[in-house]
């Protein structure tokens, strides 16, 4: 099939999933056309069957706000028409699904029918979507997509609760692609950040308030009081400065490493012992799954879709949002040499449910059904 994928090209989970999905489809022989405003972070170098179409944004002095949605819709029309795409898959409701609908209508007027799948990733529904000013557009887009998927059952229920949905929603969970282990290099890299006897805790996010990154520092402070350890923080965003300040206040600076944005987070995850995700809400928690997939247990909050990914007592532990004492106690429990190995195995095994090999055919099947229906 010839598949167009529309995504946010940044470090966010939705962009990561969309990019990895496209790469996996291309590896299976489908022709994949990414359509967005800059090269997706995880796209990597030249690969067979992958094409990238950049939406250029006009910098015209009349516009205070650039009409990205219109330019995106025009680009979709162009790519569908001239690359002869069979289907569009848009990640995130606004403005991708609304632009897809517009493109579909334009093409219909020219006698071309292009079905589009909308995948909801969470923030489009749980945060942005709750802003009533977006509600009519999001509801319309959901109900006029040829198919809608969510990345967790929890997000499906949230969508049904917040919008008047008249279409079926299929849950297709996120996945992690297999990654070759680093072996000997891993020990060398680890030695640059911690002594052998020190544990390494880790958190990866965009440091937005929903991630509760200051909780990460507070959990670490409590663990650090009982056990020699380091904390590696990956990512950047609005709450980073508050975290740096908190580290100074709590005299933790020598043990907390802020790496900033990192492209291949798997290499960081390979050297850590416990991953922390104390978010206010998460539709899925891709970062936690990525940690589990390299055998790193997770201590997280228990909201949204996280309990569908992190299984309490198996792949890590869950606690109520803000319960940093409880989370710190769980970290210490995992780091106990009597438990660590079993938890690592539990994390790895649990992650296998989200193997690429399990998830990819679900998208292919969905595309096939829609393409056949519209043939
Ligand atoms: O979490 C973010 O701020 C980024 C956001 C996004 O839209 O990329 O992540 C959402 O989608 C990810 C991929 O499906 C999920 O793993 C995250 O849980 C979800 N974030 C939230 O629901 C807050």
- Name residues contacting ligand 1 (CB within 6 A): 12-14, 17, 121-123, 126, 151, 174, 206, 208, 210, 281-286
Ligand 1, atom 9, lies closest to the CA of 13
- The residue among 67 and 118 whose pLDDT is bigger is 118
Identify the band that residue 181 occupies on the pLDDT scale cut at 50, 70 and 90: low
Task: Give the mean model confidence (pLDDT) for residues 138-158.
Answer: 96
Q: What pLDDT, on a 0 to 100 scale, did the predictor assign at position 343?
A: 98
Q: How do residues 344-358 score in pLDDT, each as one tens digit? A: 999 999 999 999 999
- Relative to the CA of 8, which ligand 1 atom is closest? 8
Domains in the chain: ranges and CATH:
2-176+355-373 (3.40.50.2000), 183-353 (3.40.50.2000)
Candidate of 9, 90, 122, 138 to mutate for ligand 1, largest count of ligand atoms within 8 Å of Cβ: 122
Identify the band that residue 269 occupies on the pLDDT scale cut at 50, 70 and 90: very high
What integer best gives the mean pLDDT of the chain?
A: 94
Q: What pLDDT, on a 0 to 100 scale, did the predictor assign at position 128?
A: 60
- Relative to the CA of 286, which ligand 1 atom is closest? 16
Q: How do residues 296-347 score in pLDDT, each as one tens digit? A: 999 999 999 999 999 999 999 999 999 999 999 999 999 999 999 999 999 9
Q: What pLDDT, on a 0 to 100 scale, did the predictor assign at position 182?
A: 65
Q: How do residues 39-60 score in pLDDT, each as one tens digit? A: 998 888 778 999 999 998 877 7
Task: Give the mean model confidence (pLDDT) for residues 268-283.
Answer: 97
Let me know if 258 is exposed, middle or buried by CB neighbors in 10 A (0-12, 13-18, 19+). middle
Ligand 1, atom 7, lies closest to the CA of 14
Q: What pLDDT, on a 0 to 100 scale, did the predictor assign at position 75?
A: 98
Non-local (6+) Cβ contacts of 47 within 8 A are 23, 26, 27
Identify the band that residue 129 occupies on the pLDDT scale cut at 50, 70 and 90: low
Task: Give the mean model confidence (pLDDT) for residues 224-247.
Answer: 98
- Relative to the CA of 126, which ligand 1 atom is closest? 22
Task: Give the mean model confidence (pLDDT) for residues 112-132.
Answer: 84
Distance 71 CA to ligand 1 centre (A): 25
- Residue 128 CA to residue 123 CA, distance in Å, equals 6
pLDDT greater than 80 at residue 156: yes
Candidate of 6, 97, 283, 292 to mutate for ligand 1, largest count of ligand atoms within 8 Å of Cβ: 283
Identify the band that residue 264 occupies on the pLDDT scale cut at 50, 70 and 90: confident
Ligand 1, atom 4, lies closest to the CA of 12
Task: Give the mean model confidence (pLDDT) for residues 63-89.
Answer: 94
What is the end-to-end Cα distance of the chain in Å, rounded?
13
**Look-up: residue for tokens 């929890």?**
154
- The residue among 93 and 245 whose pLDDT is bigger is 245
Percent of the chain with pLDDT over 70: 98
pTM over cut 0.85: yes
Task: Give the mean model confidence (pLDDT) for residues 205-220.
Answer: 97
Task: Give the mean model confidence (pLDDT) for residues 107-112.
Answer: 97
Identify the band that residue 21 occupies on the pLDDT scale cut at 50, 70 and 90: very high
- Relative to the CA of 206, which ligand 1 atom is closest? 3
Task: Give the mean model confidence (pLDDT) for residues 176-190.
Answer: 80
Candidate of 94, 151, 282 to mutate for ligand 1, largest count of ligand atoms within 8 Å of Cβ: 282
Distance 206 CA to ligand 1 centre (A): 10
Q: Kindly report the three-state secondary structure assignment for every residue of the chain.
A: CEEEEECCCCCCHHHHHHHHHHHHHHHCCCEEEEEECCCCCCCCCCCCCEEEEECCCCCCCCCCCCCHHHHHHHHHHHHHHHHCCCEEEEECHHHHHHHHHHHHHHHHHCCCCCCEEEEECCHHHHHHHHCHHHHHHHHHHHHHCCEEEECCHHHHHHHHHHCCCCCCEEECCCCECCCCCCCHHHHHHHHCCCCCCCEEEEEECCCCHHHCHHHHHHHHHHHHHHCCEEEEEECCCCCHHHHHHHHHHCCCHHHEEEEECCCCHHHHHCCCCEEEECCCCCCCCHHHHHHHCCCCCEEEECCCCHHHHCCECCCEEEECCCCHHHHHHHHHHHHCHHHHHHHHHHHHHHHHHHEHHHHHHHHHHHHHHHHHHCC
């Amino acid at each position: 099939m010839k598949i167009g994928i529309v995504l946010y090209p940044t470090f966010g989970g939705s962009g990561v999933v969309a990019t990895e999905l496209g790469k996996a489809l291309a590896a299976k022989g489908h022709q994949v056309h990414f359509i967005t405003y800059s090269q997706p972070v995880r796209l990597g170098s030249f690969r067979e069957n992958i094409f990238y179409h950049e939406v250029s944004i006009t910098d015209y002095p009349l516009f205070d706000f650039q009409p990205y949605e219109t330019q995106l819709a025009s680009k979709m029309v162009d790519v569908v028409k001239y690359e002869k795409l069979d289907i569009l898959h848009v990640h995130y409701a606004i403005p991708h699904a609304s632009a897809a609908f517009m493109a579909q209508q334009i093409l219909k007027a020219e006698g071309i029918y292009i079905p589009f799948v909308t995948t909801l990733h969470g923030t489009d529904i749980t945060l942005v979507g709750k802003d009533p000013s977006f509600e009519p557009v999001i509801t319309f887009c959901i109900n006029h997509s040829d198919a809608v998927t969510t990345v967790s059952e929890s997000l499906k229920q949230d969508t049904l609760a917040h919008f008047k949905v008249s279409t079926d929603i299929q849950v297709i969970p996120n996945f992690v692609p297999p990654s070759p282990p680093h072996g000997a290099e891993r020990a060398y890299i680890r030695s640059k950040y911690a002594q052998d006897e020190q544990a390494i805790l880790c958190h990866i996010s965009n440091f937005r308030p929903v991630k509760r990154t200051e909780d990460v520092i507070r959990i670490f402070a409590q663990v650090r009081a009982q056990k020699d350890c380091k904390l590696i923080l990956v990512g950047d965003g609005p709450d980073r400065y508050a975290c740096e300040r908190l580290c100074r206040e709590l005299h933790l600076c020598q043990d907390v490493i802020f790496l900033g944005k990192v492209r291949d987070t798997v290499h960081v995850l390979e050297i850590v012992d416990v991953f922390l995700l104390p978010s206010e809400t998460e539709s899925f928690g891709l970062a936690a799954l990525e940690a589990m997939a390299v055998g790193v247990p997770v201590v997280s909050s228990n909201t949204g879709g996280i309990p569908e990914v992190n299984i309490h007592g198996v792949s890590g532990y869950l606690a109520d949002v803000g319960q940093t004492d409880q989370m710190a106690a769980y970290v210490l429990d995992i780091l106990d040499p009597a438990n660590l190995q079993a938890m690592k195995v539990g994390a790895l095994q649990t992650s296998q449910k989200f193997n690429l090999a399990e998830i990819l055919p679900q998208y292919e099947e969905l595309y096939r059904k829609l393409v056949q229906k519209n043939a």
